[in-house]
């Protein structure tokens, strides 16, 4: 077995290199084993990461048990919940690129033979998958696992309910004491927030795409089984190194189609579209927006996890998890069961013993929540290059909606209007200049969607933006409008009162504006300057691609 680390530590020429390993306490026995980078995103600012030191320790144990030498290295992370609603959120999506770049740096600079990737939250999971696809050295993902749901007045709750409670407070439906009780109840401990938000979406899809062991997406953070899974992942990376099974052997076009199908069945976050596009780009297995609608037309939505419904990831785990969902899809020819995974076995071998233990959490293909998938890509004269909605979280009465535009040039302006009662039934809130370039950074906008829900307007008001939404958002929240306003997209030409027609079942979004009127408006349009022009975000704004390409960096 030829090892990449031999270029770093073998031969008399590498004596200086070895001396630096000895300085850290490594022995010859350790240096004669494969060197495995254990990339941990542990920190003390993200609830989903506060326990990753334990996951990393377990993974390192597994590597050692299987004959490797584990080497711990760090990765950064942004907590989207803490960053929400202020300038910090501009750094969330851009951090994905920094994380991928830093893993590339650490892995290639030090000659690692394999990688155990330990993320848990929104941008960190796709960033690590992007790095794995880019580097194409044996890699496995072991996430930190979901948070348990909270309990408020006898009801399971999670972070989405907390944000909605703010809207309820602003509308006078609850008082300050009730709001405080929500704060204390909704997040009971460590783990990625407990609904089918972006973090858990990507943790489940890591499993579905074949880059993580079964259970990765759903075993709760506080369960001992999560530690066991980390140890097994550490052991399994040694098998991948031995057999030289690399990410691009797994991340094929068919595997991405499996991930999209599982995404549709689970009802994942709209952010999963951005991230799957970006990972596919790194794997040189491109996926188009059209693929999502093609799959959505034939794959039913089987789960209504929060924010779409009352169940949480712990309930999905108890019902049998992602393997149950995939087994049902495989039995109906909706995914390819022959594909290779990090277990060294096929998808079908991994899921063959899965049993659905709760058909109220995971419905059958014969009796789904809907015959179409959880996400939809819409097209029209204000989204010529597409936009995305989580249709499984849209109230039936809002699947088709026509209303007047209420136009805002930032999330902050929109929030002020919502909180102060200036948005009424029937409106279509338009938030622009929040795209990858225009933001810069393409902020998530959980505050406005949650405010509308908390004020009981989510069944009468739609919201569209060239920014994006948290996986915790619900309602007719349509994001990723392309081209974005900062790039001259038609969303930047809309005016208050323009009638917007939304038809999610027919994948359509349209402004009642003639071609002549569009042309006239374009004559007087000029782009707004981004709010941040310096530092990392200034560079990001110059080099980032549009959302329909995954908001990747230009090559």
DSSP symbol at 311 = B
Instruction: Give dist(CA 199, CA 47) in Å, integer.
Output: 12
Q: 322 CB contacts (<8 Å, ≥6 apart)?
A: 204, 207, 208, 214, 217, 218, 262, 266, 316
186 closest CA partner among 324, 307, 24: 307
Q: Which of 192, 272, 392, 470 is catalytic?
A: 470
Q: Is 158 helix (H, G, I), strand (E, B) or coil?
A: coil
DSSP symbol at 212 = B
187 and 150 Cβ atoms separated by less than 8 Å? yes
Q: How far is CA 90 from CA 190, 348, 423, in A?
A: 24, 40, 25
The DSSP H or E segment spanning 442 is none
Is 470 one of the catalytic residues?
yes
Q: For 499, list phi and psi in degrees, rounded to 5.
A: -85, 125
Count Cβ atoms within 10 A of the Cβ of residue 30 and give its class: 0-12 exposed, 13-18 middle, 19 or more buried.
Answer: middle
Instruction: Give dist(CA 211, CA 207) in Å, integer.
Output: 6
- How many Å separate Cα 31 from the centre of its chain? 37
The DSSP H or E segment spanning 378 is strand 376-380
Evaluate the omega torsion of the peptide bond into residue 307 and state whether it is cis, within 30 degrees of 0.
yes
DSSP symbol at 286 = -
Instruction: Give dist(CA 229, CA 62) in Å, integer.
Output: 9
E strands along 41-83, which residues? 69-74
Question: And the tokens for 155?
Answer: 């009801």
| Half-sphere exposure (Cβ direction) of 396: Cα atoms closer than 13 Å | 2
Question: And the tokens for 412?
Answer: 């902050």
Question: And the tokens for 56?
Answer: 């990393």
DSSP symbol at 79 = -
477 and 466 Cβ atoms separated by less than 8 Å? no
Place of tokens 């795209």: 435
DSSP symbol at 370 = B
Length of the chain counted residue by residue: 555
Q: How far is CA 20 from CA 10, 106, 111, 536, in A?
A: 13, 16, 14, 32
Q: Is 441 helix (H, G, I), strand (E, B) or coil?
A: coil
342 and 255 Cβ atoms separated by less than 8 Å? no
Neighbouring C-beta atoms of residue 254, cutoff 10 Å: 14
Residues designated as active site: 470
């Amino acid at each position: 077995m030829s090892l990449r680390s031999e270029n770093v530590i073998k031969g008399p020429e590498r004596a200086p290199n070895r001396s630096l390993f000895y300085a850290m306490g490594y022995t010859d026995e350790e240096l004669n084993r494969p060197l495995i980078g254990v990339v941990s995103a542990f920190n003390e600012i993200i609830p989903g990461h506060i326990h990753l030191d334990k996951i990393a320790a377990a993974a390192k144990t597994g590597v050692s048990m299987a004959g490797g030498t584990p080497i711990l290295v760090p990765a950064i992370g942004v907590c989207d919940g803490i960053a929400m609603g202020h300038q910090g959120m501009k750094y969330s999506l851009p951090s994905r690129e920094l994380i991928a770049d830093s893993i590339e740096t650490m892995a290639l600079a030090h000659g690692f033979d394999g990688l155990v990737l330990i993320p848990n939250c929104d941008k960190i999971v796709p960033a690590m998958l992007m790095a794995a696809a880019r580097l194409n050295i044996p890699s496995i993902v072991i996430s930190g696992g979901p948070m348990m749901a909270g309990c408020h007045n006898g009801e399971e709750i999670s972070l989405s309910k907390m944000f909605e409670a703010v809207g309820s407070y602003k509308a006078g439906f609850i008082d300050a004491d009730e709001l405080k009780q929500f704060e204390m109840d909704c997040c009971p401990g460590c783990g990625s927030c407990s609904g089918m938000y972006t973090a858990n979406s990507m943790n489940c899809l890591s499993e579905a795409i074949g880059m993580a062991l079964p259970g990765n997406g759903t075993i709760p953070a506080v369960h001992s089984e999560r530690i066991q899974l980390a140890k097994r992942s550490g052991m399994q990376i040694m098998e991948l190194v031995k057999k030289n099974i690399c990410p691009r052997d797994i991340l094929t076009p068919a595997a991405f189609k499996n991930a999209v199908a599982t995404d549709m069945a689970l009802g994942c976050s709209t952010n999963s579209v951005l991230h799957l596009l970006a990972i596919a780009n790194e794997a040189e297995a491109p996926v188009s927006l059209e693929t999502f609608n093609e799959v959505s037309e034939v794959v039913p939505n089987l789960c209504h996890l929060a924010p779409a419904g009352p169940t949480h990831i712990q309930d999905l785990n108890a019902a049998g998890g992602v393997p149950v969902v995939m087994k049902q899809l495989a039995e109906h020819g909706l995914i390819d069961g022959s594909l290779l995974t990090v277990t060294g076995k096929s998808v079908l071998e991994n899921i063959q013993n899965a049993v659905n233990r709760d058909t109220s959490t995971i419905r059958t293909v014969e009796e789904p929540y809907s015959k179409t998938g959880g996400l939809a890509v819409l097209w029209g004269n204000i989204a010529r290059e597409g936009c995305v909605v989580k249709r499984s979280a849209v109230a039936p009465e809002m699947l088709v909606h026509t209303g007047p535009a209420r136009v805002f040039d930032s999330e902050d302006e929109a929030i002020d209007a919502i909180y102060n009662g200036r948005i009424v039934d029937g409106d279509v809130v338009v938030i622009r200049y929040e795209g990858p370039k225009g933001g810069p950074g393409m902020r998530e906008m959980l505050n406005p969607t949650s405010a509308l829900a908390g004020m009981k307007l989510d069944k009468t008001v739609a919201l569209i933006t060239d920014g994006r939404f948290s996986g915790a958002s619900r309602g007719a929240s349509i994001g990723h409008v392309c081209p974005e306003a900062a790039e001259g997209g038609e969303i930047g030409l809309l005016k208050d009162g323009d009638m917007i027609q939304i038809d999610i079942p027919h994948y359509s979004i349209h402004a009642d504006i003639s071609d002549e009127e569009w042309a006239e408006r374009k004559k007087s349009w000029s782009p707004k300057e981004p709010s941040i022009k310096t530092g990392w975000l200034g560079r990001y704004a110059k080099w980032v691609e549009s959302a329909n390409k995954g908001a990747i960096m230009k090559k």
